[in-house]
Structure 1
Amino acid sequence: LLAAIWSFTFLTGATASVLRASVMFSTYLIGKAIFRKASVWNVLPASAFILLLYNPYFLFDAGFQLSYAAVAGMVFFYPRLYRLSPMLPKWADYAWQILLVGFSAQLGTLPLSLFYFHQFPVYFWLAGWVVVFGGAVFMAGGAALILCDLMFPVVAKWLGMALYWMLWGINQLIVGIQHLPGSVIGGIWIGAAAAFFLYVILLLLGATLAFRKARYLMGALMLTGSLGIVHAMRVHAQLSQKQIAIYSITNSRLMDFFAGDRLFTLGGDSLTVRQIAFSAQPNRWASGAQSIEMLGPDSLTRSNLMFDSPFVQFYDKKIAIVESGQLIKPGRFPSVPVDVVILANNPWVSIEECRRQFPFKTVVFDNTKHWKQVARWKSECAAEGIPCHDVREQGAWVSR
């Protein structure tokens, strides 16, 4: 059995997800062979330890964390939930078990899913049925395909085509479920501390089911109430926020100005929805933006926000966007003190020239410049002791 597991692992290219599953199952089989009775709660940390010996950075990999959280959720919640199940016919009980397994895995991964992806899949239970039933048939068919390819090549050809179309159908069903109305609740933002306390709440609820003790339920309710209070305080603080964010987007610039729960965004006209979602959306969710207004390239004024190229003023913050060496020619502008200078589009200027024209506190390099130019500017900043921020290497620059 171990030989079959690892043959399949290497046959599929030993991808991270298959490798995790293979190590888990192999550890379980070896433990069962040695100790006769292997506890899953011993197998999980043992297999995780083996994988971390192979690559310690797996610990910070979202896939690694979600895999073990899903298995732990199934082991912890499934038996407790199944004990509460009603009596059902055999076929219905099998479908119910699959539903509970998926639900248990979802509970195990819920805090991490909200923390990493900021959304909740409403129809995960429906997708679980499709994947489990379809996956079981597909795996059996895959094994049959390997045997037929060795002994009956003609049959293998038709079986391979059937498996291909079956896999296509499974994918189409999953995509269809994904596009059902209300299939995803998005825009959910939680921090690492909130994710940790959500796990504590889930453990207390599991203990309530296991031991039927009211104190565990009371603890879960008290923690839930505390999280609600913290969230309300955070929302109240967001109503008075004044935040500027400059994002790292290849060959483009996107700036967000948060005034309470209002968001004004400048640039990014040529960006796709996917690019904005990847670079800016998490910060927008974290900042609680409720309304978004796109700002054009022309001179404009909004409440507490003024943009007249190359200057931006947001509340008491003054910014100069230097995209051309023409801006710092003697006599073009009087010397204007600013808080931040943004260097964009490879202007042939030095840091000292910028400093004479726009005396600044911080310089930000956006993602529209050549790396050699940025390296030269960084050297100048280091020599002069000037604070600088490169969004390509350091991520978004955020001022509060």
Structure 2
Amino acid sequence: MKTKIILATLLCTLVSTHAQAMGSKKPSPTPAPNPAPVTPTPAPSTKPTLDFGPELSEDAYLNAGAEVGAQVDDSQNDNELVGSSRQVINNDQVDQCFNDEAPHEYFADQISYYVQEMINDVPAKVGYIGSYYGTSSDDSAYFPTSLIRHPLCNVTSSTLSATINKVPGQATIDKLNRFANTVNTLRQEVLNGDQSAKKELLSTWTRMFSCLAYAESLSTADTTTSKNVAAKVGPSGYRKPAGVKFYEDPAQDATSRLNIGMFQFTPNSAGNIQPCIRAWNSLNQNKASCQISQKATQADLIKALGSSYQSFNAFCGIHKLVQTFAIQVNTTKSSATHPSNVVNGKLKGFEQRCVSPHFQAGKAYNHFGPFQNSTGSNLDKLFTCIESSR
């Protein structure tokens, strides 16, 4: 009997102990349900849908340069574009990078040649400064741009007050819109299949940049001051070619003071010449002798920007407009694009935007003073040249 009581007591103790042990054990957590899948917002497509048809014939630029160059020279009472045949006087490697065998002896040839190249989509190469303007740091992520990929924005005193500091009068604004409407009409005709309109676009943009070249440098390229500056800063053995302006801007700091050539660039590879170097190298990637180091010295850039035919300088001047267009098209900042690209507080898609030359440098990476109306009168002077030279 005693043995049974002891066994019973022991059994109860074991059961009780096991029950307590089971009660103190934390249950396995219930697996959390899988979260509902999140669909990421798709990035806007960087592939254009508009087709501008076949490229112009390789020599189309020659006719545009000869005709427009002569008209602009006449309007300026000068002969810098087609009246003076240029001679190579230095070892100008950048003047040997063309895709044709034409002599390229006139400045107008270089302007129309690179306008023709940039009627087609070209790499803007502004990714390395993208963070300043609300664009990608990845050049391959940019929606393509060219001189005609997007329409030009019409402007008003209100929109200009948002993009430049010195708003011109209505007569000047009318000139800007007449130019924009001409470009946009021809652009639409190209999209409708009229390839002759593409030749007209080539001439229209060649006229713009020919007048801009006069505004920037051509009328004062061979003054005594220009020659003296070239003699002071030129590297050993360098001689200033005719028509190539050297200018020291007293309003700029030492790193930006020296300006060279057709479109007045500073020979500083850390400055705003850098996107031009990258784009130039990309377009000439199969020509080793045409490559320019991204860390080129001042001496090397003086030679490139101050070359006899002004090839790299002309390229960079025209490419500068493509650069600011690329910022305006690809930015996520409303301040870096035209006001008409913002609807109900939202930016239009890449392909639906218009573009404008008229921005302050800090807003959309513009290089040229006349486009910003920097003096209060140079914008009107530029567009007067465009209209009077037709």
TM range (shorter): under 0.3
Structure having the larger proportion of residues in helix: 1
Structure having the larger proportion of residues in strand: 1
Larger-Rg structure: 2
